[in-house]
A and B are shown apart, each in its own frame.
Chain A
Amino acid sequence: MLVALLLVWAGGTFVFEARGARHDWLAGTLHQPSSMYWRLGSRPPERLDRCLRSVDALLPAREPVLLWDPTNDFFRWRWAAYFLPHREVVQAGAATPPGRVVVASSRSAPAGARRVAGEPWCGLYRLP
Protein backbone atom coordinates (compact mmCIF):
# COMPACT_ATOMS: atom_id res chain seq x y z
CA MET A 1 0.00 0.00 0.00
CA LEU A 2 2.81 2.37 0.98
CA VAL A 3 4.70 1.56 -2.22
CA ALA A 4 1.54 2.21 -4.26
CA LEU A 5 1.09 5.60 -2.59
CA LEU A 6 4.72 6.49 -3.18
CA LEU A 7 4.38 5.44 -6.79
CA VAL A 8 1.30 7.59 -7.36
CA TRP A 9 2.99 10.52 -5.63
CA ALA A 10 6.12 10.08 -7.75
CA GLY A 11 4.06 9.89 -10.94
CA GLY A 12 2.17 13.03 -10.02
CA THR A 13 5.33 14.98 -9.23
CA PHE A 14 6.99 13.91 -12.46
CA VAL A 15 3.99 14.97 -14.55
CA PHE A 16 3.75 18.24 -12.60
CA GLU A 17 7.43 19.08 -13.11
CA ALA A 18 7.52 17.97 -16.75
CA ARG A 19 4.43 19.99 -17.67
CA GLY A 20 5.79 23.05 -15.89
CA ALA A 21 9.15 22.80 -17.64
CA ARG A 22 7.50 22.28 -21.03
CA HIS A 23 5.27 25.28 -20.47
CA ASP A 24 8.19 27.50 -19.47
CA TRP A 25 10.26 26.30 -22.40
CA LEU A 26 7.50 27.01 -24.92
CA ALA A 27 6.85 30.42 -23.38
CA GLY A 28 10.56 31.17 -22.96
CA THR A 29 9.73 32.29 -19.45
CA LEU A 30 12.53 33.07 -17.04
CA HIS A 31 11.17 33.41 -13.53
CA GLN A 32 14.08 35.65 -12.54
CA PRO A 33 15.69 38.11 -14.96
CA SER A 34 19.12 37.72 -13.36
CA SER A 35 21.81 35.90 -15.34
CA MET A 36 22.04 33.44 -12.45
CA TYR A 37 18.72 32.00 -13.69
CA TRP A 38 19.38 32.02 -17.41
CA ARG A 39 18.47 28.83 -19.23
CA LEU A 40 20.06 27.37 -22.33
CA GLY A 41 17.88 28.53 -25.23
CA SER A 42 16.32 31.47 -23.41
CA ARG A 43 16.49 34.93 -25.00
CA PRO A 44 19.17 36.70 -22.89
CA PRO A 45 21.93 34.11 -23.36
CA GLU A 46 20.96 33.67 -27.03
CA ARG A 47 21.40 37.40 -27.55
CA LEU A 48 24.77 37.27 -25.79
CA ASP A 49 25.75 34.31 -27.97
CA ARG A 50 24.83 36.20 -31.15
CA CYS A 51 26.77 39.21 -29.96
CA LEU A 52 29.88 37.21 -29.14
CA ARG A 53 29.78 35.28 -32.40
CA SER A 54 29.66 38.55 -34.33
CA VAL A 55 32.68 40.05 -32.58
CA ASP A 56 34.59 36.78 -32.50
CA ALA A 57 35.06 37.00 -36.24
CA LEU A 58 36.50 40.50 -35.89
CA LEU A 59 39.23 39.60 -33.41
CA PRO A 60 42.58 37.98 -34.18
CA ALA A 61 42.80 34.30 -33.24
CA ARG A 62 43.69 33.60 -29.61
CA GLU A 63 43.22 37.21 -28.56
CA PRO A 64 41.33 37.45 -25.26
CA VAL A 65 37.85 38.94 -25.28
CA LEU A 66 37.32 41.80 -22.85
CA LEU A 67 33.67 41.88 -21.90
CA TRP A 68 32.67 45.37 -20.77
CA ASP A 69 30.75 44.86 -17.56
CA PRO A 70 31.15 47.47 -14.83
CA THR A 71 28.54 45.60 -12.74
CA ASN A 72 30.84 42.59 -12.60
CA ASP A 73 28.07 40.13 -13.46
CA PHE A 74 29.73 36.81 -12.63
CA PHE A 75 27.22 34.54 -14.34
CA ARG A 76 27.02 36.58 -17.55
CA TRP A 77 30.82 36.33 -17.72
CA ARG A 78 30.66 32.54 -17.35
CA TRP A 79 28.03 32.26 -20.09
CA ALA A 80 30.29 34.33 -22.32
CA ALA A 81 33.18 31.96 -21.56
CA TYR A 82 30.97 29.01 -22.53
CA PHE A 83 30.06 30.61 -25.85
CA LEU A 84 33.73 31.28 -26.66
CA PRO A 85 35.57 28.18 -25.45
CA HIS A 86 38.49 28.88 -27.80
CA ARG A 87 39.25 32.25 -26.19
CA GLU A 88 39.99 33.67 -22.79
CA VAL A 89 37.07 35.83 -21.70
CA VAL A 90 37.93 38.57 -19.23
CA GLN A 91 35.64 41.01 -17.48
CA ALA A 92 36.47 44.64 -18.19
CA GLY A 93 35.47 47.54 -15.99
CA ALA A 94 36.70 50.77 -14.49
CA ALA A 95 40.14 49.27 -13.81
CA THR A 96 40.72 48.33 -17.45
CA PRO A 97 43.54 50.45 -18.96
CA PRO A 98 42.58 53.17 -21.47
CA GLY A 99 42.90 52.28 -25.13
CA ARG A 100 41.88 48.67 -24.70
CA VAL A 101 39.21 47.26 -27.00
CA VAL A 102 36.17 45.82 -25.23
CA VAL A 103 32.92 44.18 -26.26
CA ALA A 104 30.03 46.50 -25.47
CA SER A 105 26.91 48.09 -26.93
CA SER A 106 26.14 51.72 -27.64
CA ARG A 107 24.05 51.79 -24.47
CA SER A 108 26.48 50.01 -22.18
CA ALA A 109 29.81 51.38 -23.48
CA PRO A 110 31.48 53.96 -21.23
CA ALA A 111 31.31 57.64 -22.14
CA GLY A 112 33.89 58.55 -24.73
CA ALA A 113 34.37 55.00 -26.00
CA ARG A 114 34.62 54.76 -29.78
CA ARG A 115 33.20 51.89 -31.78
CA VAL A 116 35.94 50.42 -33.97
CA ALA A 117 34.11 47.41 -35.40
CA GLY A 118 30.80 45.60 -35.26
CA GLU A 119 27.28 46.85 -34.81
CA PRO A 120 26.04 49.48 -32.35
CA TRP A 121 24.08 46.87 -30.37
CA CYS A 122 27.17 44.73 -30.05
CA GLY A 123 30.59 45.78 -31.19
CA LEU A 124 34.20 46.41 -30.33
CA TYR A 125 34.68 49.72 -28.53
CA ARG A 126 38.01 51.36 -27.76
CA LEU A 127 38.10 52.76 -24.24
CA PRO A 128 38.97 56.48 -23.93
Chain B
Amino acid sequence: MSALGWLAAPLVLVLLAAAGQPIAARLPVTRPLRLVLGFIAGALLLHALLSLLDLLGWRWRLAIALPFLLAAALIAFVVRARRPSRRSASFGWGDAVAILAVLGFAALAWTGWIAIPDFIYHWGLKGHRFLLEGHVDYGYLAQPLGWVFHPDYPNLYPELLAVTAMLAGWREGALLLWSPLLLALILISVREVLVAEGIPPFRRHAVVAFVALSCAGFAVANIMAGAADWFLALALAASLPALLAPLSTAADVQIGLCAALAGASKQEGLVMAVGLVAVQLSRWFWHGRRPRPAGSAALLVPPMLIVGYSWWRIAQHHLLQSYDKGLPIPSRLVATLRIVAEQLLAPEWHGFALLLLVLPLLLLVPRLRPFVAVALLHLAGYLASCAGQDTDTRLLVVTTFTRIVLQIFPATIAAMAVALFADGMRTAAAASGAAEASAAAIDA
Protein backbone atom coordinates (compact mmCIF):
# COMPACT_ATOMS: atom_id res chain seq x y z
CA MET B 1 0.00 0.00 0.00
CA SER B 2 1.27 3.49 -0.84
CA ALA B 3 2.04 6.06 1.83
CA LEU B 4 -1.13 7.88 0.83
CA GLY B 5 -3.06 4.70 1.53
CA TRP B 6 -1.68 4.57 5.04
CA LEU B 7 -2.25 8.25 5.57
CA ALA B 8 -5.69 8.63 3.98
CA ALA B 9 -7.77 8.12 7.14
CA PRO B 10 -5.45 10.15 9.42
CA LEU B 11 -5.41 12.94 6.81
CA VAL B 12 -9.19 13.02 6.58
CA LEU B 13 -9.38 13.00 10.38
CA VAL B 14 -7.05 16.00 10.63
CA LEU B 15 -8.96 17.78 7.89
CA LEU B 16 -12.29 17.17 9.63
CA ALA B 17 -10.87 18.22 13.01
CA ALA B 18 -9.62 21.44 11.41
CA ALA B 19 -12.93 22.02 9.63
CA GLY B 20 -14.73 21.75 12.97
CA GLN B 21 -12.55 24.37 14.66
CA PRO B 22 -14.87 27.32 13.97
CA ILE B 23 -17.06 25.67 16.60
CA ALA B 24 -14.58 23.70 18.71
CA ALA B 25 -12.07 26.56 19.09
CA ARG B 26 -14.74 28.65 20.81
CA LEU B 27 -15.31 26.06 23.52
CA PRO B 28 -13.53 26.46 26.87
CA VAL B 29 -11.98 23.01 26.83
CA THR B 30 -8.47 21.66 26.56
CA ARG B 31 -6.69 21.53 23.20
CA PRO B 32 -6.87 17.73 22.89
CA LEU B 33 -10.61 17.85 23.54
CA ARG B 34 -10.92 20.55 20.89
CA LEU B 35 -9.40 18.10 18.45
CA VAL B 36 -12.08 15.55 19.36
CA LEU B 37 -14.97 18.01 19.23
CA GLY B 38 -13.55 19.53 16.06
CA PHE B 39 -13.53 16.09 14.43
CA ILE B 40 -17.15 15.53 15.46
CA ALA B 41 -18.21 18.93 14.13
CA GLY B 42 -16.20 18.37 10.93
CA ALA B 43 -17.71 14.93 10.34
CA LEU B 44 -21.18 16.43 10.74
CA LEU B 45 -20.27 19.23 8.31
CA LEU B 46 -19.12 16.65 5.78
CA HIS B 47 -22.34 14.66 6.27
CA ALA B 48 -24.35 17.85 5.74
CA LEU B 49 -22.38 18.74 2.60
CA LEU B 50 -22.78 15.29 1.03
CA SER B 51 -26.49 15.26 1.91
CA LEU B 52 -26.87 18.66 0.27
CA LEU B 53 -25.11 17.40 -2.86
CA ASP B 54 -27.52 14.45 -2.89
CA LEU B 55 -30.47 16.82 -2.70
CA LEU B 56 -29.09 18.92 -5.54
CA GLY B 57 -28.36 15.83 -7.60
CA TRP B 58 -24.66 16.64 -7.80
CA ARG B 59 -22.05 13.91 -7.75
CA TRP B 60 -19.74 13.68 -4.73
CA ARG B 61 -16.27 14.84 -5.70
CA LEU B 62 -13.07 15.40 -3.80
CA ALA B 63 -12.83 18.70 -5.71
CA ILE B 64 -15.96 19.83 -3.84
CA ALA B 65 -15.48 18.21 -0.43
CA LEU B 66 -11.83 19.19 0.01
CA PRO B 67 -12.17 22.95 -0.65
CA PHE B 68 -15.31 23.05 1.48
CA LEU B 69 -13.54 21.50 4.48
CA LEU B 70 -10.43 23.62 3.96
CA ALA B 71 -12.58 26.74 3.80
CA ALA B 72 -14.26 25.77 7.07
CA ALA B 73 -10.83 25.22 8.62
CA LEU B 74 -9.63 28.61 7.39
CA ILE B 75 -12.63 30.38 8.89
CA ALA B 76 -11.45 29.54 12.41
CA PHE B 77 -8.16 31.32 11.75
CA VAL B 78 -9.42 34.18 9.59
CA VAL B 79 -12.13 35.34 12.00
CA ARG B 80 -9.79 34.72 14.95
CA ALA B 81 -12.57 33.05 16.87
CA ARG B 82 -10.11 31.02 18.93
CA ARG B 83 -10.50 31.38 22.69
CA PRO B 84 -7.90 30.48 25.27
CA SER B 85 -8.01 26.77 25.90
CA ARG B 86 -7.95 25.19 29.33
CA ARG B 87 -4.75 23.58 30.49
CA SER B 88 -4.34 19.90 29.80
CA ALA B 89 -1.89 17.58 31.52
CA SER B 90 1.57 16.68 30.31
CA PHE B 91 2.29 13.42 28.51
CA GLY B 92 2.80 10.43 30.78
CA TRP B 93 3.14 6.67 30.93
CA GLY B 94 -0.60 6.08 30.66
CA ASP B 95 -0.68 7.98 27.40
CA ALA B 96 2.29 5.96 26.12
CA VAL B 97 0.51 2.70 26.94
CA ALA B 98 -2.64 4.01 25.24
CA ILE B 99 -0.67 4.85 22.09
CA LEU B 100 0.86 1.37 22.06
CA ALA B 101 -2.58 -0.22 22.41
CA VAL B 102 -3.97 1.91 19.57
CA LEU B 103 -0.95 1.09 17.38
CA GLY B 104 -1.33 -2.61 18.11
CA PHE B 105 -4.99 -2.46 17.15
CA ALA B 106 -4.10 -0.42 14.05
CA ALA B 107 -1.47 -2.91 12.91
CA LEU B 108 -3.95 -5.77 13.11
CA ALA B 109 -6.77 -3.71 11.58
CA TRP B 110 -4.55 -2.90 8.61
CA THR B 111 -4.19 -6.63 7.83
CA GLY B 112 -7.95 -6.93 7.46
CA TRP B 113 -7.89 -10.05 9.59
CA ILE B 114 -9.88 -8.45 12.38
CA ALA B 115 -12.38 -6.70 10.11
CA ILE B 116 -15.89 -7.08 11.45
CA PRO B 117 -18.22 -9.01 9.10
CA ASP B 118 -20.54 -5.98 9.13
CA PHE B 119 -17.85 -4.13 7.19
CA ILE B 120 -18.29 -6.68 4.41
CA TYR B 121 -22.05 -7.12 4.57
CA HIS B 122 -23.02 -3.60 5.38
CA TRP B 123 -20.79 -0.55 5.97
CA GLY B 124 -18.05 -1.26 3.45
CA LEU B 125 -20.46 -2.45 0.77
CA LYS B 126 -22.53 0.72 1.10
CA GLY B 127 -19.48 2.97 1.25
CA HIS B 128 -18.01 1.44 -1.89
CA ARG B 129 -21.33 1.57 -3.73
CA PHE B 130 -21.84 5.22 -2.78
CA LEU B 131 -18.28 6.01 -3.86
CA LEU B 132 -18.87 4.47 -7.30
CA GLU B 133 -22.25 6.11 -7.76
CA GLY B 134 -21.17 9.46 -6.31
CA HIS B 135 -24.17 9.70 -3.98
CA VAL B 136 -26.19 7.73 -1.45
CA ASP B 137 -27.74 5.17 -3.78
CA TYR B 138 -31.28 5.01 -2.44
CA GLY B 139 -32.38 2.86 -5.37
CA TYR B 140 -29.83 0.26 -4.34
CA LEU B 141 -30.84 0.52 -0.68
CA ALA B 142 -34.53 0.16 -1.53
CA GLN B 143 -34.18 -3.04 -3.60
CA PRO B 144 -36.18 -6.01 -2.27
CA LEU B 145 -32.98 -7.79 -1.19
CA GLY B 146 -31.72 -4.63 0.50
CA TRP B 147 -32.87 -5.81 3.91
CA VAL B 148 -29.56 -7.66 4.27
CA PHE B 149 -27.53 -4.45 4.61
CA HIS B 150 -29.77 -2.41 6.92
CA PRO B 151 -30.93 0.21 4.40
CA ASP B 152 -32.61 2.19 7.19
CA TYR B 153 -29.33 3.00 8.94
CA PRO B 154 -27.89 6.53 8.80
CA ASN B 155 -25.10 7.07 6.29
CA LEU B 156 -22.38 9.15 7.95
CA TYR B 157 -19.99 6.22 8.24
CA PRO B 158 -20.31 4.96 4.62
CA GLU B 159 -19.87 8.57 3.50
CA LEU B 160 -16.69 8.86 5.55
CA LEU B 161 -15.39 5.65 3.96
CA ALA B 162 -16.24 6.95 0.50
CA VAL B 163 -14.46 10.27 1.04
CA THR B 164 -11.40 8.50 2.48
CA ALA B 165 -11.34 6.21 -0.56
CA MET B 166 -11.49 9.26 -2.85
CA LEU B 167 -7.99 10.06 -1.58
CA ALA B 168 -6.34 6.68 -1.88
CA GLY B 169 -8.71 4.29 -3.62
CA TRP B 170 -10.77 1.53 -2.04
CA ARG B 171 -8.18 -0.21 0.13
CA GLU B 172 -9.59 -2.03 3.11
CA GLY B 173 -6.38 -1.72 5.13
CA ALA B 174 -6.50 2.07 4.88
CA LEU B 175 -10.23 2.28 5.56
CA LEU B 176 -10.13 -0.02 8.58
CA LEU B 177 -7.71 2.40 10.23
CA TRP B 178 -10.74 4.53 11.08
CA SER B 179 -11.48 2.24 14.03
CA PRO B 180 -8.13 2.69 15.83
CA LEU B 181 -8.31 6.39 15.07
CA LEU B 182 -11.73 6.59 16.69
CA LEU B 183 -10.38 4.62 19.65
CA ALA B 184 -7.65 7.24 19.95
CA LEU B 185 -10.26 10.01 20.02
CA ILE B 186 -12.23 8.11 22.67
CA LEU B 187 -9.11 7.79 24.80
CA ILE B 188 -8.40 11.50 24.45
CA SER B 189 -11.94 12.20 25.66
CA VAL B 190 -11.47 9.90 28.65
CA ARG B 191 -8.09 11.43 29.46
CA GLU B 192 -9.34 14.99 29.26
CA VAL B 193 -12.34 14.38 31.49
CA LEU B 194 -10.00 12.94 34.09
CA VAL B 195 -7.74 15.96 33.73
CA ALA B 196 -10.68 18.34 34.09
CA GLU B 197 -11.82 16.50 37.20
CA GLY B 198 -8.43 16.90 38.83
CA ILE B 199 -7.67 13.21 39.19
CA PRO B 200 -4.09 12.65 40.39
CA PRO B 201 -1.66 11.83 37.55
CA PHE B 202 -0.82 8.24 38.54
CA ARG B 203 -4.46 7.24 38.81
CA ARG B 204 -5.31 9.10 35.62
CA HIS B 205 -2.58 7.27 33.73
CA ALA B 206 -3.74 3.95 35.13
CA VAL B 207 -7.35 4.57 34.08
CA VAL B 208 -6.41 5.76 30.58
CA ALA B 209 -4.11 2.77 30.10
CA PHE B 210 -6.80 0.41 31.39
CA VAL B 211 -9.47 1.75 29.03
CA ALA B 212 -7.02 1.59 26.11
CA LEU B 213 -5.90 -1.97 26.76
CA SER B 214 -9.33 -3.37 27.59
CA CYS B 215 -10.99 -1.72 24.55
CA ALA B 216 -8.14 -2.67 22.20
CA GLY B 217 -8.15 -6.24 23.54
CA PHE B 218 -11.88 -6.46 22.96
CA ALA B 219 -11.49 -4.92 19.52
CA VAL B 220 -9.11 -7.70 18.51
CA ALA B 221 -11.08 -10.50 20.16
CA ASN B 222 -14.45 -9.42 18.79
CA ILE B 223 -12.98 -8.40 15.40
CA MET B 224 -14.07 -4.76 15.64
CA ALA B 225 -12.05 -3.09 12.88
CA GLY B 226 -14.54 -1.39 10.61
CA ALA B 227 -17.37 -1.37 13.15
CA ALA B 228 -19.60 1.69 13.51
CA ASP B 229 -19.93 1.21 17.28
CA TRP B 230 -16.80 3.30 17.80
CA PHE B 231 -18.77 6.38 16.78
CA LEU B 232 -21.30 5.86 19.56
CA ALA B 233 -18.56 5.19 22.10
CA LEU B 234 -16.95 8.44 20.96
CA ALA B 235 -20.22 10.39 21.15
CA LEU B 236 -20.81 9.30 24.75
CA ALA B 237 -17.21 9.70 25.91
CA ALA B 238 -16.92 13.17 24.32
CA SER B 239 -20.18 14.28 25.92
CA LEU B 240 -19.08 13.26 29.42
CA PRO B 241 -17.14 16.47 30.22
CA ALA B 242 -20.21 18.53 29.30
CA LEU B 243 -22.53 16.28 31.31
CA LEU B 244 -20.29 16.77 34.35
CA ALA B 245 -19.86 20.51 33.87
CA PRO B 246 -22.24 23.09 35.27
CA LEU B 247 -24.97 24.20 32.90
CA SER B 248 -23.71 26.50 30.18
CA THR B 249 -24.11 27.30 26.53
CA ALA B 250 -20.75 25.65 25.87
CA ALA B 251 -22.01 22.40 27.40
CA ASP B 252 -25.13 22.63 25.23
CA VAL B 253 -22.95 23.00 22.13
CA GLN B 254 -20.86 19.96 23.04
CA ILE B 255 -23.86 17.79 23.81
CA GLY B 256 -25.65 18.93 20.65
CA LEU B 257 -22.62 17.87 18.57
CA CYS B 258 -22.29 14.51 20.32
CA ALA B 259 -26.03 13.80 20.00
CA ALA B 260 -25.89 14.62 16.29
CA LEU B 261 -22.92 12.29 15.82
CA ALA B 262 -24.76 9.49 17.61
CA GLY B 263 -27.88 10.04 15.50
CA ALA B 264 -25.88 10.09 12.27
CA SER B 265 -23.92 6.92 13.00
CA LYS B 266 -26.25 4.04 13.80
CA GLN B 267 -29.90 3.27 14.34
CA GLU B 268 -29.41 2.80 18.09
CA GLY B 269 -27.61 6.13 18.11
CA LEU B 270 -31.04 7.71 17.89
CA VAL B 271 -31.73 6.58 21.46
CA MET B 272 -28.41 7.98 22.61
CA ALA B 273 -29.09 11.27 20.83
CA VAL B 274 -32.52 11.62 22.38
CA GLY B 275 -31.09 10.65 25.78
CA LEU B 276 -28.31 13.24 25.61
CA VAL B 277 -30.62 16.08 24.58
CA ALA B 278 -33.40 15.13 26.99
CA VAL B 279 -31.03 14.81 29.94
CA GLN B 280 -29.35 18.14 29.22
CA LEU B 281 -32.71 19.91 28.90
CA SER B 282 -33.88 18.20 32.10
CA ARG B 283 -30.80 19.53 33.90
CA TRP B 284 -31.74 23.08 32.91
CA PHE B 285 -35.34 22.76 34.01
CA TRP B 286 -34.40 20.84 37.18
CA HIS B 287 -32.35 23.85 38.24
CA GLY B 288 -35.24 26.18 37.44
CA ARG B 289 -33.38 27.79 34.56
CA ARG B 290 -33.75 27.91 30.82
CA PRO B 291 -30.97 27.52 28.28
CA ARG B 292 -29.98 30.65 26.38
CA PRO B 293 -31.38 30.85 22.84
CA ALA B 294 -27.95 30.08 21.39
CA GLY B 295 -27.60 27.09 23.71
CA SER B 296 -31.07 25.78 22.87
CA ALA B 297 -30.31 26.07 19.17
CA ALA B 298 -26.93 24.34 19.53
CA LEU B 299 -28.43 21.57 21.62
CA LEU B 300 -31.49 20.90 19.50
CA VAL B 301 -30.88 21.91 15.90
CA PRO B 302 -27.91 19.67 14.86
CA PRO B 303 -29.42 16.41 16.14
CA MET B 304 -32.88 17.32 14.84
CA LEU B 305 -31.54 18.15 11.39
CA ILE B 306 -29.43 15.01 11.20
CA VAL B 307 -32.09 12.64 12.48
CA GLY B 308 -34.90 14.42 10.62
CA TYR B 309 -33.06 14.19 7.29
CA SER B 310 -32.21 10.55 7.84
CA TRP B 311 -35.81 9.60 8.67
CA TRP B 312 -37.22 11.70 5.86
CA ARG B 313 -35.11 9.69 3.43
CA ILE B 314 -36.13 6.44 5.13
CA ALA B 315 -39.80 7.34 4.73
CA GLN B 316 -39.31 8.65 1.19
CA HIS B 317 -37.74 5.40 -0.01
CA HIS B 318 -39.69 3.02 2.26
CA LEU B 319 -36.47 1.78 3.83
CA LEU B 320 -37.70 0.96 7.34
CA GLN B 321 -37.36 -2.76 7.77
CA SER B 322 -39.93 -4.99 9.41
CA TYR B 323 -37.28 -6.29 11.82
CA ASP B 324 -36.81 -2.74 13.11
CA LYS B 325 -40.48 -2.34 13.96
CA GLY B 326 -42.48 -3.80 16.81
CA LEU B 327 -43.28 -3.18 20.44
CA PRO B 328 -41.49 -4.96 23.30
CA ILE B 329 -43.11 -8.18 24.45
CA PRO B 330 -42.63 -9.18 28.12
CA SER B 331 -41.61 -12.77 27.35
CA ARG B 332 -38.96 -11.57 24.90
CA LEU B 333 -37.80 -8.98 27.40
CA VAL B 334 -37.24 -11.69 30.01
CA ALA B 335 -35.36 -13.79 27.48
CA THR B 336 -33.28 -10.77 26.48
CA LEU B 337 -32.36 -10.02 30.09
CA ARG B 338 -31.33 -13.63 30.67
CA ILE B 339 -29.07 -13.68 27.61
CA VAL B 340 -27.66 -10.24 28.44
CA ALA B 341 -26.71 -11.56 31.88
CA GLU B 342 -24.85 -14.43 30.18
CA GLN B 343 -23.17 -12.09 27.74
CA LEU B 344 -21.73 -9.96 30.53
CA LEU B 345 -19.28 -12.85 30.82
CA ALA B 346 -18.61 -13.04 27.08
CA PRO B 347 -15.00 -14.18 26.59
CA GLU B 348 -14.28 -11.30 24.20
CA TRP B 349 -14.50 -8.88 27.14
CA HIS B 350 -12.49 -11.09 29.53
CA GLY B 351 -14.82 -10.14 32.39
CA PHE B 352 -14.54 -6.36 31.99
CA ALA B 353 -18.16 -6.07 30.87
CA LEU B 354 -19.14 -6.86 34.46
CA LEU B 355 -17.91 -3.39 35.39
CA LEU B 356 -21.08 -2.03 33.80
CA LEU B 357 -22.98 -3.41 36.79
CA VAL B 358 -21.53 -0.46 38.70
CA LEU B 359 -23.58 1.97 36.60
CA PRO B 360 -26.60 2.12 38.97
CA LEU B 361 -24.26 2.71 41.92
CA LEU B 362 -22.94 5.82 40.20
CA LEU B 363 -26.37 7.35 40.78
CA LEU B 364 -25.18 7.89 44.37
CA VAL B 365 -22.85 10.59 43.05
CA PRO B 366 -25.10 13.55 42.16
CA ARG B 367 -22.81 14.99 39.47
CA LEU B 368 -22.75 11.68 37.64
CA ARG B 369 -26.52 11.27 37.49
CA PRO B 370 -26.94 12.96 34.08
CA PHE B 371 -24.36 10.63 32.54
CA VAL B 372 -25.83 7.55 34.21
CA ALA B 373 -29.28 8.56 32.97
CA VAL B 374 -28.02 8.72 29.37
CA ALA B 375 -26.18 5.39 29.65
CA LEU B 376 -29.15 3.63 31.25
CA LEU B 377 -31.54 5.09 28.67
CA HIS B 378 -29.26 3.74 25.97
CA LEU B 379 -29.26 0.29 27.56
CA ALA B 380 -33.03 0.44 28.07
CA GLY B 381 -33.45 1.33 24.41
CA TYR B 382 -31.34 -1.68 23.44
CA LEU B 383 -33.37 -4.02 25.66
CA ALA B 384 -36.64 -2.63 24.27
CA SER B 385 -35.34 -3.08 20.73
CA CYS B 386 -34.39 -6.72 21.34
CA ALA B 387 -37.72 -7.38 23.04
CA GLY B 388 -39.55 -5.78 20.14
CA GLN B 389 -37.94 -7.62 17.25
CA ASP B 390 -39.69 -10.71 15.99
CA THR B 391 -36.54 -12.70 15.47
CA ASP B 392 -34.22 -15.18 17.17
CA THR B 393 -33.63 -13.23 20.39
CA ARG B 394 -30.63 -15.31 21.43
CA LEU B 395 -28.85 -14.80 18.13
CA LEU B 396 -29.68 -11.11 18.20
CA VAL B 397 -28.32 -10.53 21.70
CA VAL B 398 -25.27 -12.75 21.27
CA THR B 399 -24.27 -10.92 18.09
CA THR B 400 -24.88 -7.41 19.39
CA PHE B 401 -24.59 -7.04 23.16
CA THR B 402 -20.81 -7.13 23.42
CA ARG B 403 -20.73 -4.20 21.00
CA ILE B 404 -23.34 -2.32 23.01
CA VAL B 405 -20.99 -2.72 25.97
CA LEU B 406 -18.24 -1.07 23.93
CA GLN B 407 -20.51 1.89 23.21
CA ILE B 408 -20.79 2.78 26.90
CA PHE B 409 -17.70 1.16 28.41
CA PRO B 410 -15.07 3.93 28.04
CA ALA B 411 -17.35 6.67 29.37
CA THR B 412 -18.54 4.44 32.21
CA ILE B 413 -14.99 3.70 33.32
CA ALA B 414 -14.20 7.41 33.19
CA ALA B 415 -17.29 8.13 35.28
CA MET B 416 -16.27 5.45 37.77
CA ALA B 417 -12.84 7.05 38.05
CA VAL B 418 -14.48 10.41 38.68
CA ALA B 419 -16.62 8.86 41.42
CA LEU B 420 -13.64 7.19 43.07
CA PHE B 421 -10.78 9.62 42.59
CA ALA B 422 -12.02 13.12 41.77
CA ASP B 423 -11.46 15.95 44.18
CA GLY B 424 -15.10 17.08 44.28
CA MET B 425 -14.70 20.52 45.82
CA ARG B 426 -11.80 21.53 43.63
CA THR B 427 -13.32 20.31 40.37
CA ALA B 428 -16.72 21.81 41.16
CA ALA B 429 -15.09 25.20 41.73
CA ALA B 430 -12.95 24.88 38.63
CA ALA B 431 -15.92 23.77 36.56
CA SER B 432 -18.02 26.62 37.85
CA GLY B 433 -15.38 29.13 36.83
CA ALA B 434 -15.04 27.47 33.46
CA ALA B 435 -18.78 27.58 32.95
CA GLU B 436 -18.88 31.30 33.53
CA ALA B 437 -15.95 31.79 31.19
CA SER B 438 -17.60 29.59 28.58
CA ALA B 439 -20.88 31.43 28.75
CA ALA B 440 -19.04 34.68 28.20
CA ALA B 441 -17.00 33.18 25.38
CA ILE B 442 -19.93 31.65 23.54
CA ASP B 443 -22.19 34.64 23.97
CA ALA B 444 -19.47 37.08 22.90
Q: Do A and B share a complex?
A: yes
Q: Which residues of A contact B (CB under 8 A)?
A: 3-4, 6-7, 9-11, 13-14, 16-18, 20-22, 24-25, 36, 39-42, 75, 78-79, 81-82, 85-86, 88, 90
Q: B220 interface residue, CB < 8 Å from A?
A: yes
Query: How far is it, in angstroms, between the C-alpha of A16 and the C-alpha of B97 when the chains are bound?
Result: 16
Query: How far is it, in angstroms, between the C-alpha of A100 and the C-alpha of B91 when the chains are bound?
Result: 64
- Chain B CB within 10 Å — which of A14, A75, A79 has the most? A14
Flag if A4 contacts B206 (CB, 8 Å): yes
Query: How far is it, in angstroms, between the C-alpha of A45 and the C-alpha of B129 when the chains are bound?
Result: 19
Flag if A13 contacts B125 (CB, 8 Å): no
Stretch at the interface among B30-38, B105-113, B378-386, B435-443: B105-113
Q: Which residues of A contact B108 (CB under 8 A)?
A: 18, 21-22, 25
Determine the residue in chain B with the shortest Cβ distance to A36: B117
A-B contact pairs, 19 of them (CB 8 A): A3-B206, A7-B209, A7-B210, A10-B209, A10-B217, A10-B350, A11-B209, A20-B220, A21-B220, A40-B113, A40-B172, A41-B111, A75-B117, A78-B120, A78-B121, A78-B148, A79-B120, A82-B120, A90-B145
Q: Which residues of B contact A (CB under 8 A)?
A: 97, 101, 104, 108, 111-115, 117, 119-121, 124-125, 128-129, 132, 143, 145, 148, 172, 203, 206-207, 209-210, 213-214, 216-217, 220-221, 223, 350-352
Q: Given known contacts A3-B203, A17-B217, A85-B128, is B112 in contact with A41 (CB within 8 Å)?
A: yes
Query: How far is it, in angstroms, between the C-alpha of A3 and the C-alpha of B417 when the chains are bound?
Result: 10
B299 to chain A, nearest CB (A): 35
B421 to chain A, nearest CB (A): 9
Flag if A21 contacts B114 (CB, 8 Å): yes
Flag if A17 contacts B220 (CB, 8 Å): yes
Q: Which residues of B contact A9 (CB under 8 A)?
A: 350-351
Q: Which residues of B contact A42 (CB under 8 A)?
A: 113
